[in-house]
Chain A
């Protein structure tokens, strides 16, 4: 048993009240989404808004589900986001290692050129990239949605900074032990920077998951579309059917929650690993 001093109990109460309030606050948008998805078209635009739907409109789910082939969109999105994330991690880790540890002619110039491309907003490249994809005849393929995002200068830069902060002594010690560069990279560098790499993976996955404009530009057939395209189908030039958007969002969030429940351990570990044990 822990100590039962009154001051400790009060401290515990305060702590938990704050935590519970914080948890509720974080949950609110999610709860709001679920409740809104069950409201009628009338009730969702009502001002002041109601919290609990007067009548639970489960039919919203059926209606939203029929509007677009969501299972297909879901598979497309998962596939594209996963391949893109794995690919971008590979290129970023390799190039970050090169920039932080290897010596080769023109290294500084190449790095500066890389950095310079960060100055160009992505939207400026949209049309030129699109023309390239058209010329390659990649329209309506997964390639078009994956390949252009397989390298990312920002992630490379981020990892380069982290890799540079690893003491040079470790690298030299590994060299003395006849460890190859690749082996050093994946046995020592990557595990030591697990947290940074996880961050990059999460950013990349979310970015890919949420992308809308590019996948829309390079696809034409329903089979190749992604989830974000399904969600805009409830908007028209004169308004939005919010209850259906919310119902669709609820459906879409379920697989993510399941994935999270299974991978929770790894995600949290990656987030909290500090990496400076050596």
Chain B
């Protein structure tokens, strides 16, 4: 894809540019981040101000975000106005943030994945003191989200639009063949055998290959990658790759190819099921003429343990001005409140970020009619995200996906696959 190549070049160039600005930029910003945060909480003297929020939400997501923000603007007692700025898609937002980090013109707050700011984490306001002094129920936020937002050794954000990877399948086909929703790796293999034999189709696909590998390793009790390199050059790692390569080499699983997402394949009855983001459910059509089917959704399949890849961004603060920091924090509290996260989840199909929200009567009633939300809730304790807090983490994602694609195309054996992947990962960090 062209966009990806441009991104890679932009990333390369920011490295150069950040070297140029390093002496001027970073020194000043770190002191402001901690000093102002300490003052928060004790007493609130927030002056009326305008906060800029850069986001990448479109369609109904943007609509719901606007509604919530207008509510905050109307109701907060400090005269804070939050101004929403749409910056296109995630990758556009990431590029804009990078460029503005280099120019030192970041917005007050922004949606961001942790790997957006690996190179300029010193510009992210540490929220530890805000959370400690002015966030009564931090523990109510799901543990995997708290872990994700603490991976840099400080709290870098609050969870916002969260989704998770689930197994979507053609329930009509499964019923017809006497298959049930998979619970173990053996089940997956069995499903693969039956569907290939009876329908001549692949049973499973993965929208994201690098996340599939990491999830499979974790499910098998193994570790993936950290700043020292690949951690899966082990017996368990080999077993994991034996499972994966067998699925592909036998034709039980297949690559997505030019479609990018498996939702179209599932809609057309061209695959048994696939693992993809819970937000992708709106792209599955179950009523194409002559191809109607019932959709099934279940948690991703675990092995020794369960592990499911979480996706979706957090809200991160860059504001330098102490008053703006305090004002932004009020907004972040509002957006992560039980009421807001329930409304947001019901409007958009993203997941609530609080246990109490999942357990609320309102959301429970919503879940009754939403199998995707049910499956997401079921696997909520097993969520994880890829470690992003070291240089090269972004590149490793691309390298692993490409390498896995090549290995599968070449029908490589497990040992070759393991060696090639380990070498590819370590090569990035060399």
Interface residues, chain A, CB within 8 Å of chain B? 41-43, 45-47, 54, 67, 121, 123-128, 130-131, 134-135, 139, 213, 216-217, 220-222, 229, 232-239
Closest Cβ of chain A to B103, distance in Å, is 4
Closest Cβ of chain B to A166, distance in Å, is 38
In the complex the two chains form, what is the Cα distance from A160 to B275 in whole Å? Answer: 56
In the complex the two chains form, what is the Cα distance from A271 to B227 in whole Å? Answer: 57
Which residues B1-21 have CB closer than 8 A to chain A?
Answer: 6, 9-10, 12-14, 16-17, 20-21
Please, which residues of chain A bring their CB within 8 A of the CB of B277?
Answer: 237-238
Please, which residues of chain A bring their CB within 8 A of the CB of B420?
Answer: none
A126 to B10, Cβ gap below 8 A? yes
A41 to B87, Cβ gap below 8 A? no
Of A47, A127, A221, chain B has the most CB atoms within 10 Å of the CB of: A127
Please, which residues of chain A bring their CB within 8 A of the CB of B270?
Answer: 47
A54 to B96, Cβ gap below 8 A? no
**Which of the 9-residue segments B130-138, B229-237, B282-290 touches chain A?**
B282-290
A127 to B99, Cβ gap below 8 A? yes
Please tell me which one of the listed residues B86, B89, B280, B289 contacts residue A235 in the complex, with CB atoms under 8 A apart: B89
Please, which residues of chain B bring their CB within 8 A of the CB of A67?
Answer: 58-59
Q: A42-B287, A220-B85, A237-B277 are in contact. Are A47 and B264 (CB under 8 A)?
A: yes
Q: A45-B285, A54-B289 are in contact. Are A130 and B268 (CB under 8 A)?
A: no
Q: A139-B105, A213-B95, A232-B89 are in contact. Are A128 and B17 (CB under 8 A)?
A: yes
A238 to B282, Cβ gap below 8 A? yes
In the complex the two chains form, what is the Cα distance from A72 to B289 in whole Å? Answer: 39
Please, which residues of chain B bring their CB within 8 A of the CB of A216?
Answer: 87-88, 92, 95-96
| Nearest 4 interchain pairs by C-beta | A238-B280, A123-B9, A239-B283, A127-B17
Please, which residues of chain A bring their CB within 8 A of the CB of B285?
Answer: 41-42, 45
Which label, helix, strand, loop or mixed, suits the secondary structure of the B interface? helix
Closest Cβ of chain A to B268, distance in Å, is 4
Identity of the chain A residue whose Cβ is nearest the Cβ of B11 in the assembled complex: A123
Identity of the chain A residue whose Cβ is nearest the Cβ of B90 in the assembled complex: A237
Interface residues, chain B, CB within 8 Å of chain A? 6, 9-10, 12-14, 16-17, 20-21, 58-59, 61, 85-90, 92, 95-96, 98-100, 102-103, 105, 261, 263-265, 267-268, 270, 276-277, 279-280, 282-283, 285, 287-289, 291, 311
Q: A131-B17, A217-B96 are in contact. Are A238 and B261 (CB under 8 A)?
A: yes
Please, which residues of chain A bring their CB within 8 A of the CB of B89?
Answer: 232, 235-237
B87 to A238, Cβ gap below 8 A? no
Closest Cβ of chain B to A127, distance in Å, is 4
In the complex the two chains form, what is the Cα distance from A232 to B89 in whole Å? Answer: 7
B264 to A45, Cβ gap below 8 A? yes
Please, which residues of chain A bring their CB within 8 A of the CB of B95?
Answer: 213, 216-217
Identity of the chain B residue whose Cβ is nearest the Cβ of A235 in the assembled complex: B89
Please tell me which one of the listed residues B6, B59, B264, B289 contacts residue A123 in the complex, with CB atoms under 8 A apart: B6
Please, which residues of chain B bring their CB within 8 A of the CB of A125?
Answer: 13
In the complex the two chains form, what is the Cα distance from A70 to B55 in whole Å? Answer: 20
Please, which residues of chain A bring their CB within 8 A of the CB of B99?
Answer: 126-127, 130, 217
Identity of the chain A residue whose Cβ is nearest the Cβ of B313 in the assembled complex: A237
Given contacts A134-B105, A237-B279, 15 further A-B contacts (CB under 8 A): A42-B287, A42-B288, A43-B288, A45-B264, A45-B283, A47-B270, A67-B58, A121-B9, A130-B100, A139-B105, A213-B6, A213-B10, A237-B311, A238-B283, A239-B283
A124 to B9, Cβ gap below 8 A? yes
